[in-house]
Amino acid sequence: MKRKLSNQFLRNFLVIFLLTILATALAFVLLSFASGLISGSLAKNQYPASAIIKKDYRQIDASAIVQSGGGVQVVDKEYRVVYSSGLDTIGKDRLTAEEFTTFLTESKSKPYHYDILYQPEGEFWLIVTFPTSIRLNFSLVYNKEAAAGDFMRAGWVITFVVLSYILLLGLFAFIYSRVTAASITVPLKKLCYGTKLLREGDYSARVDLRLRNEFAELQNTFNEMAARIEQEITLRKKSEEDRRRLILDISHDLKNPMASIQGYTELLMRKKGMTEPEGEEYLKVILNNSKRANRLLTELFELSQIDSPEFSLKLIKTDICEYIRQICGELVPQLEREGFRYEFDIMEESVFTLLDTNRFSRIIQNLANNVMQYNPQGTLVAVSLTVQNNQVVIDFSDDGIGIPAHLAVNIFNPFVRVDDSRNSKTGGSGLGLSIAKKIAEAHGGDLTLHPNENKGSTFRITIPVI
């Protein structure tokens, strides 16, 4: 790619090179043409020395020249300035032969135009002077009578100058084409390299072109694309890891009750002469384990249902203060039966939200179940409802054992439980908080954990007010 682009730029600049040579030649022609157009209007050409010269210099009329900004001087054969009017660039009344010769030879290099004419009868030089506006001292003259050697030398010099100009111009075009090509091919090469890294699986690849042109926009687009791909891959890996862990956790949590059911069922079938109390005890164990397995499968089904794209809520306008009071009233008998204390602080005013009342009650019920499963009797359970920043804020707090710091970050992930041993007697399925959080999010709110400073924990539910 680099060579092709560089060659393309070189071909383009070769065309520019040829056009530049053509434009240079045309410029000389135009300058010559322009010189002919304006020569007649210049003061130096309107008042040449030949137009005012007289045999007697005293009869010369220099008024028109002086009015046009020029000057007239007359130098006799003794190199004395015998007449001067207007602009005077000689600055002396008398010159030596050497000074006058120097004046004549250096007149072309001064910023003045001199028209010098000798009057043989009056034996004087007439000098007409005008300030030079613009002067181009380039001219090409060919005389057949010139010496052959001079002609050859002059020809070689002109050829050398022209070839040097063309070569220098060509060199500049070549260098500029390479520099211009590099300004495009180098960023492209970096982008191609970054793309190859992405193709090979290095999703952390980024491009830094340090430019502020269109390539910078392309760089930002590439980096954003790479970041999004890296994020998607990371999420996919995490999802895969979560899926594997979920399968392991499901297998683990189902294995124990199913093994227990199978074991006690085989025991009932094999054991002869079993007393009625023993049989009832074995059947009770089988029943509890079947309930546990059924509860786990039900919550798994509910969790997958909530994650399904087809999941939707049946939202109705609800006075959430009255609704929470009803739920808390339903919790009271259960809390008293388990030996827990309780406090409820619900606003008296009506606050309306859009709720799926059947789903939302699961949040409070799951939080209550967690408190009763992991905390000792006598633990205080507090529920409060306030409105903050146009949101209903429900705090479900307790002063129990709290949640360990290493579990607080992932407490809403499936199968995360305070009881690390996954004891069926002290812990639930580990899906309740995950289900509760997803239900809160489906309502446009959230469920978060706020550990208390002293002890216990606070789960905060937020729901938008309508």
Q: Produce one character per residue of 100-137: b if its CB has 16 or more CB atoms within 10 Å, e if not.
A: beebeeebeeeebbbbeeebeebebbbbbbbeeeeeee
Each residue's pLDDT tens digit, 48-89: 999 999 999 999 999 999 999 999 999 999 999 999 999 999
From residue 77, alpha-carbon distances to 25, 100, 119, 210 in Å are 46, 11, 10, 76
Using the predicted structure, report yes or no on whether residue 382 has a pLDDT greater than 70.
Answer: yes
For the chain, the maximum distance between any two Cα atoms, rounded to a whole number of angstroms, is 168
Q: How far apart are CA 90 and CA 42, in angstroms?
A: 23
The CATH code of the domain at 47-131 is 3.30.450
- Cα gap 375→138, rounded to integer Å: 106
Structural Rg of the chain based on CA atoms: 52
CATH classification (class only), 312-464: alpha beta
Say how far apart CA 461 and CA 442 lie, in whole Å: 12
Q: What are phi and psi for residue 234, nearest 5 degrees?
A: -60, -45
Looking at per-residue pLDDT, the higher value among 462 and 292 belongs to 462
* Torsion of the alpha carbons at 37, 40, 41 and 47, rounded to the nearest 10: 160
> Of 310, 295, 242, 302, nearest to 439 (Cα)?
302
Separation between Cα atoms, residue 306 and residue 304, nearest integer Å: 5
> What is the share, in percent, of the chain residues with pLDDT greater than 70?
91
Query: Beta 380-388 vs 341-346: how paired, if at all?
Result: parallel
d(CA 162, CA 167): 9
Is residue 418 very low, low, confident or very high in pLDDT (cuts 50, 70, 90)?
low
Joined tokens for residue 307: 């994650």
Which of the residue ranges 74-83, 213-222, 414-423 has the most confident prediction, judged by mean pLDDT? 74-83
> Among the listed ranges 180-194, 246-260, 317-331, which one has the minimum average pLDDT value?
246-260
User: 215-238 burial by CB neighbour count: b if 16+ within 10 A, else e?
Assistant: beebbeebeeebeeebeeeeeeee
Is the whole-model pTM more than 0.75?
no
pLDDT, mean over the chain: 85
d(CA 402, CA 426): 15
Pairing of strands 316-319, 352-355: antiparallel
pLDDT level of residue 426 (50, 70, 90 thresholds):
very low
Domain residue limits, the chain: 2-39+143-187, 47-131, 215-304, 312-464
57 and 119 Cβ atoms separated by less than 8 Å? yes
For CA atoms 397, 399, 403, 409, the dihedral sign is: positive
CATH 1.10.287.130 holds for 215-304: yes
Q: How many residues does the chain have?
A: 466
Confidence check: pLDDT of 421 > 50: no
